């Protein structure tokens, strides 16, 4: 499959919002508390508009040769883990449409984000995935990610 990766602009807002809504729809069965309307909520709109304008974030889109979107990724070079001795960025969210999976699109998006992170002085990159999302976990492991911490949640 032929595709290109480019930096997203504010004009891509609706496209990213739609891809993120597809991600939420897929993740809904992993998290019954997931608000699937978040991508179109005020908070979701603010998050993506800020992400597209924030110099400490990088938003990329993968497209086929017809300019059809295949996926996107949002990453941040901001260190959330101030207690760690290395600058750790975060791959905040990523989605590749089902028809483009296992064709190098996701791998290329991650490679481009890693390159950007390094240019920002980031030494490590963090990503989270739902425990039951074994496909995502395997994908991230195949791209060099290793388990670092385990997040847990209790229903009160």
Residue 149 in domain: no
Specify the DSSP class assigned to residue 59. Answer: E
Domains: count for the chain? 1
Q: How many CB atoms lie within 10 A of CB 77?
A: 22
In the three-class reduction of DSSP (H, G, I as helix; E, B as strand; rest coil), residue 19 is classed as helix
- Nearest CA among 32, 5, 8 for reference residue 20: 8
* Cα–Cα distance, 118 to 89 (Å, whole number): 10
Q: Quick check: is 27 in a domain?
A: yes
Q: Answer yes or no: pTM beyond 0.95.
A: no
pLDDT in single tens digits along all 156 residues of the chain: 899 999 999 999 999 999 999 999 999 999 999 999 999 999 999 999 999 999 999 999 999 999 999 999 999 998 877 888 889 999 999 999 999 999 999 999 999 999 999 999 999 999 999 999 999 999 999 999 999 888 888 989
Structural domain that includes position 123: 3-142
Closest-CA residue to 98 (of 30, 23, 38) = 23
Q: How far apart are CA 151 and CA 75, in angstroms?
A: 20
Q: Is 16 part of a structural domain of the chain?
A: yes
Report long-range pairs for 23-26 (Cβ below 8 Å, ≥24 apart).
Answer: 23/93, 23/94, 23/95, 26/95
* 44 lies in some domain: yes
Q: Is residue 156 part of a domain?
A: no
- Tell whether 154 is covered by a domain: no
**Which domain CATH number covers 73?**
3.40.630.30
Residues shown for the chain: 156
Q: CA-CA distance, 80 to 4, in Å (whole number)?
A: 30
Report yes or no on 73 lying in a domain. Answer: yes
Tell me, yes or no, whether 86 lies in a domain: yes
Residues with Cβ within 8 Å of 100's Cβ and at least 6 positions away in sequence, in order, are 1, 3, 62, 64, 70, 71
The helix/strand/coil state of 97 is coil
């Amino acid at each position: 499959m032929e595709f290109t990766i480019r930096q997203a602009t504010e004009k891509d807002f609706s496209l990213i919002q739609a891809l993120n809504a597809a991600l939420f729809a897929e993740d809904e069965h992993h998290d019954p508390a997931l608000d699937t309307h978040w991508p179109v909520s005020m908070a979701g709109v603010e998050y993506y508009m800020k992400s597209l304008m924030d110099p400490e974030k990088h938003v990329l889109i993968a497209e086929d040769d017809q300019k059809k979107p295949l996926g996107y990724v949002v990453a941040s070079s901001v260190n959330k883990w101030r207690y760690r001795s290395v600058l750790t960025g975060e791959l905040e969210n990523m989605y590749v449409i089902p028809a483009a999976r296992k064709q190098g699109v996701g791998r290329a998006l991650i490679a481009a984000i890693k390159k950007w992170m390094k240019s920002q002085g980031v030494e490590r990159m963090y990503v989270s995935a739902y425990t039951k999302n074994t496909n995502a976990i395997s994908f991230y492991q195949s791209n060099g990610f290793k388990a670092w911490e385990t997040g847990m949640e209790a229903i009160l």
